[in-house]
Amino acid sequence: MSDFLPVEAVAECALRSRDRRRHAGKLERTIVKEVGQAVGEFDLIAAGDRIMVCISGGKDSYALLDVLMLLRQRSPVPFELIAVNVDQGWPGYQTDIIAKHLQERGVPYEMVDESFAEIVADKLAPGATPCSLCSRLRRGVLYNLAVRLGCTKIALGHHMEDLLETLVLNLLFSGRLASMPAKLHSDDGRNTVIRPMVYVPEALLVEYAEQQQFPIVSCGCPSCGLPEQKRQVVKRLLAELDNANPGVKTHMLAALKNVKPSHLLDLSLQVSAGRTF
């Protein structure tokens, strides 16, 4: 029996490989296009920016770094990137895998060990999840780190669903109409946070991560992703709504750009709009 593939089989393999490359290229272009739109609309990147890209080891932050590296190559304005990973101290968090990935990407990076997981565990109320407290502590670390590294922007990997889930969470559980802004200036004026992927659906990032074979690393927090978490409940709710009525998420995203202050009950909005009762 011959050890060589028939010509027809070789041709079929070549066609499949070509189609995969085309699909991968199309997916990457789609994500870059959505990020580019957000960058332009919200003025997220300026000439001379030094952007700190926060890398957690998840698909979203890996994709954010890739896209910003591509944009930097094509951008008419120069800007710098530095990747940063913060080890919060949860057991089993494999920072060596993240460091290896960043080294292979050829981007300057810094690994920071803060280990505040024990503080979170000590201050946590019985039955509560650590996400909110952990987020506040991490934000403080990142803000100080950005100043030390001379960074003008802090880039986070939140995507479209993150914004929509936050909107529903605030509406249902906090009594607020608020989501995540694409650009946020910190209260003390020292930092500017940007979210370049606000228009990118999570499904595209899942597919992109599979194509790129990202070395996904769990944060190690025992509460992360538990099905009873409010965010996970909302995530499932939105997925069910969108499956039953395709386009629901797209309409929700559009609503975040189409706010009618006169049709809300916030008196401060009425005053600012020059309306009285």
C-alpha distances (whole Å) from 76 to each of 35, 40, 44, 47, 249 are 16, 12, 14, 9, 33
Task: Give the homologous superfamily in CATH for domain 7-224.
Answer: HUPs (3.40.50.620)
pLDDT in tens, 22-38: 666 899 999 999 999 99
What local confidence, expressed as pLDDT, does residue 184 receive?
97
Per-residue confidence (pLDDT) for residue 20, from 0 to 100: 52
213: nearest Cα among 12, 43, 24: 24
CA distance 22 to 32: 15
In whole angstroms, give the CA distance from residue 155 to residue 61: 9
Provide the whole-model pTM.
0.86
pLDDT one-digit tens code per residue, 138-174: 888 999 999 999 999 999 999 999 999 999 999 999 9
Q: What is the DSSP letter of 125?
A: P
Predicted confidence at residue 21, as pLDDT, reads 58
Mean pLDDT of the 231-253 span: 96
The arithmetic mean of pLDDT across residues 129-143, rounded, is 79
